[in-house]
Amino acid sequence: MSVFLSEEQQAVFETSHEFGAEKIAPFARAWEQAGEIPKSLWPELAALGLGGVYVSEDHGGSGLSRLDGVLVFEALAMACPSVAAFLSIHNMCGGMIDRFGDESAKAQWLPRACSMETVFSYCLTEPGSGSDAAALKTRAVRGDAGYTLTGNKAFISGGGYSDAYIVMCRTDENISAMIVEDGTVGLSFGGLEDKMGWRAQPTRAVQLDGCLVPHTNLLGEEGRGFAYAMAGLDGGRLNIAACALGGAQAALNATLKYMGERQAFGQTIDRFQALQFRLADMEVKLQTARVFLRHAAALLDAGAVEATKFCAMAKLYVTDVCFDVANDCLQLHGGYGYLADYGIEKIVRDLRVHQILEGTNEIMRVIIARQMVAAT
């Protein structure tokens, strides 16, 4: 791994991994059973600079690159993909404010985001507009006192838990981005979703019934929200892929340990050549996924024309490969893999959604193919 990283980047990975191993991994199952990540965790992560990974140092952030970011989230996801993914969503929001907000908005929101005094969630998906995000119906009407928001958002990680929400909404015929704080009159939440995976982070519908927010809560320019959302999703797709990679790597590490201890027919099962071949195939898959992901992150950092296509390709390839690896690891554990005590079934459940969110992998194929055709 270190051959591709500078000393500073290796330190970023190791620091994140050590934190996850000490502060997250021992409690991941309990948090899943409770259905909530304790809020006391976030200031500890913020103290490491992980509350504002993509926020400039001028506003309290770490000012890290996208390549640095995928290292952070891969390392943390080795402890728990659900926790790492939730942190990545908060950081996507912080990065959007830093990139698109005016100086007043940055001063208002970013210090609290970086300290994680204010935890952010992202509200794009609606009951009738998932993959077709541009068809969203939530509306913001401008008035003298501010914007009045009406609509419903679905599948929101942190719904009813987070302190503020970046909400994509329609202003006239265009889409804008608004920041809605928890406690705003007219803001409410649906019931807790009972999910297959990511059970440690609460997911609810976010309902906006005449929510009045100040004009200053408009993020960037009115009517530019869809462009902001799509730009944010490039980085979000890398982060979700990184979380899948960390989870799959943790599953493979656990499987190697298990196979070195499990006896069958007079020897440990890691001595059977057929099973060794499966281990080799999984190692190749994860290493190629890692190189591909880091390459896509480097392209996004460089502002390359093809960055969006490569982010889509990395999200598609890495999340598919990593789910397959985790599922194979469960198989190699036999019946024990199906038991919660061994931790593999949780990883399989957590990673399944990575093939769906931040744009389904079917939509990733659409993005890739369209860019290929446009280039001819």
Q: What is d(CA 212, CA 102) in angstroms, rounded to the nearest whole number?
A: 21
Tokens representing 48 are 């490491």
Q: Are 61 and 94 in contact (CB under 8 A)?
A: yes
| Cβ neighbours for 178, distance < 8 A, ≥ 6 positions apart | 140, 147, 149, 166, 167, 169, 213, 217, 218, 219
The one-character DSSP state at 126 is B
Task: Transcribe 177-204 into DSSP letters.
Answer: EEEEETT-TTEEE-PPP--SS-TTS-EE
* 3-state SS assignment for residue 376: coil
358 among known catalytic residues: yes
Q: Which residue out of 32, 126, 345, 358 is catalytically annotated?
A: 358
Q: Which of 42, 129, 47, 44 is nearest to 89 (CA)?
A: 42
CA nearest to 228, candidates 295, 300, 175, 293 = 175
Residues taking part in catalysis = 358
